[in-house]
């Protein structure tokens, strides 16, 4: 149960990164006037954003999946 939820989270996260990183690189040229003290395509900024997204996505999927995997299915079905 836990792995199946995390697999779905990782698939969605990867799809989001595949779409968003190239778009962010393309948009950085137009957003240069808003960036004070850094280059428009700063690798450290992009790596930090990707790292933050990955950690957040994994935690957002892991915490509820862990709680769901510890719940007895018969108790959950009776509650509904």
User: What pLDDT sits at residue 38?
Assistant: 75
Average pLDDT of every residue of the chain: 86
pLDDT band at 80 (very low <50, low <70, confident <90, very high): low
Structure token pair of residue 26: 């393309």
Q: How far apart are CA 13 and CA 53, in angstroms?
A: 8
Q: Which residue has the tokens 């930090």?
A: 48
Q: What is the pLDDT of residues 12-50, one digit of tens each?
A: 999 999 999 999 888 888 887 777 777 878 888 889 999
Asked whether the beta carbons of 32 and 40 are under 8 A apart, the reply is: yes
pLDDT band at 68 (very low <50, low <70, confident <90, very high): confident
């Amino acid at each position: 149960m836990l792995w199946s939820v995390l697999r779905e989270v990782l698939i969605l996260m990867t799809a989001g990164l595949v779409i968003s990183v190239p778009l962010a690189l393309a948009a950085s040229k137009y957003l240069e006037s808003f960036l004070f003290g850094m280059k428009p395509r700063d690798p450290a900024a992009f790596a930090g954003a990707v790292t933050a997204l990955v950690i957040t996505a994994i935690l957002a999927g892991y915490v509820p999946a862990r709680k769901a995997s510890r719940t007895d299915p018969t108790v959950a079905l009776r509650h509904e």
